[in-house]
Structure 1
């Protein structure tokens, strides 16, 4: 008997499953899972890692692995064999070990390439559409007639007025490139002359420059970046479609 899945009055069979996957946009996610399974297959887990992963999984699912009857019911409900469950339990650990094994040695160089975008800044901004007003506010801020914060609250025309012009900390790739470039070459506390950014004329002051550090969180983030880049490229290269498009789509 050919396997099938009934959901209400819909019957999914070998003949129509591809069209269902395409319609529900599940082909790419399925391809991703297949590629990952193949990549992490050779990765080994220590007995300690296995035991810890199993303990965490069963606690999360509120299952007792010693209660074989309840475990059997859970497996049947989730259409899994015990072997498939074991693969699912170890998948996260294997994936992290695969990332470290594949890209760990090149992480330092990648970090140095990305560092300028990873550094953070805290800055203050006043924006107006009137160039003359921006120039006046710049002089008032430089002369100390009023605090930059007060001037921003009173005159800035963006959402930053609510915070006294204060923005950040944000990574250097977040602000407009012209703003980022000007702040990178300034000193904390320095008020910069007005410059036009699109429809706005802005007055800037760098408050703080925060250099990125290659700590554990940064390592994890950069490994994920390298991994996701590899995964996208691999999906593009390896996924091939061998089917005929419906006439309405191919015309």
Structure 2
């Protein structure tokens, strides 16, 4: 059996690599990186982009001389070409994301917008129907402020913030609560409604529509990439040779 690695007195053969990766739970990560490398194989960077990426890499790893670079290569078992590929990898991944999902981003954003819009709202929660109804009418009639009653009666962490929550995306609250918030107008007080184990009184304070700005574009590109990657991984059946053993802890 060919020895491919020697660590102290321990030798590792080619036949042992997969069992070792599986035993140390490193195989899924290897498969993920292989998939990414296949996807970005045809993505190219300009000479200026390569130079900039390499300079950033050297700065991050405190490489200031040829000797430092050679020491890093030896320590990581890489060739100069592999180091250059590693330095530009993040940029090539970003280019792959943009080329693959950039043209579809607006339609994807619109399909997700209902969950990306943000709300600021006031909330009182209780498990007592009688208290919930009384508090609702006190607020409705202007007898006491929402903040005052939330501070005194709400049974969740919002009591510490005068009942105020947000801004949060509409994907965050309980689906029933999110539905209520999505169809009400700012300032509208909703009557006691059962949400899970609670009776809640809620008032929408502000609606903040999501915008397809640069930050949102980056987030959605990353989201599309991760969904694609998980789909690809789910289609792979990684076979570890029968009879392999899980390595003991180092």
Aligned to 1:47: 47
Aligned to 2:114: 116
Aligned to 1:188: 186
2:97 to 96, 99, 104: 99
User: 1:19 deviation in Å?
Assistant: 1.6
Aligned to 1:5: 6
How many residues get paired?
Answer: 245
Aligned to 2:149: 151
For 2:240 and 2:48, how far apart are their aligned partners in 1? 44
Aligned to 2:34: 34
Q: Which runs of 5+ in 1 are unaligned?
A: none
For 1:230 and 1:104, how far apart are their aligned partners in 2? 14
Aligned to 1:208: 206
User: 1:124 deviation in Å?
Assistant: 0.7
Secondary structure of 1:16 counterpart: helix
Aligned to 2:134: 136
Contact 2:18 2:240 in 1 (8 A): no
After superposition, the CA RMSD in angstroms is 1.8
Residues 98-129 of structure 1: per-residue CA shift (max 9 Å, x gap)? 00001111111111100000001011100111
Larger RCO (alpha carbons 8 Å, 6+ apart): 2
For 1:15 and 1:170, how far apart are their aligned partners in 2? 51
For 1:62 and 1:244, how far apart are their aligned partners in 2? 44
Contact 1:126 1:165 in 2 (8 A): yes
192-201 vs 89-98, greater mean Cα deviation: 192-201
TM-score (norm 1): 0.92
Residues 32-80 of structure 1: per-residue CA shift (max 9 Å, x gap)? 111111111111111221121112111111112xx22222112111211
18-27 vs 157-166, greater mean Cα deviation: 18-27
Aligned to 1:72: 70
TM-score (norm 2): 0.93
For 2:133 and 2:219, how far apart are their aligned partners in 1? 41
Aligned to 1:19: 19
User: 1:81 deviation in Å?
Assistant: 1.1
Q: Which runs of 5+ in 2 are unaligned?
A: 246-250
Query: Cα–Cα, structure 1 residues 240 and 229, in superposed 2: closer, same or farther, change >3 Å?
Result: same
Aligned to 1:235: 233
For 1:228 and 1:14, how far apart are their aligned partners in 2? 31
Contact 1:124 1:204 in 2 (8 A): yes
User: 1:16 deviation in Å?
Assistant: 2.1
Residues 131-174 of structure 1: per-residue CA shift (max 9 Å, x gap)? 01000000011111111011100000111100011111111111
Contact 2:123 2:203 in 1 (8 A): yes
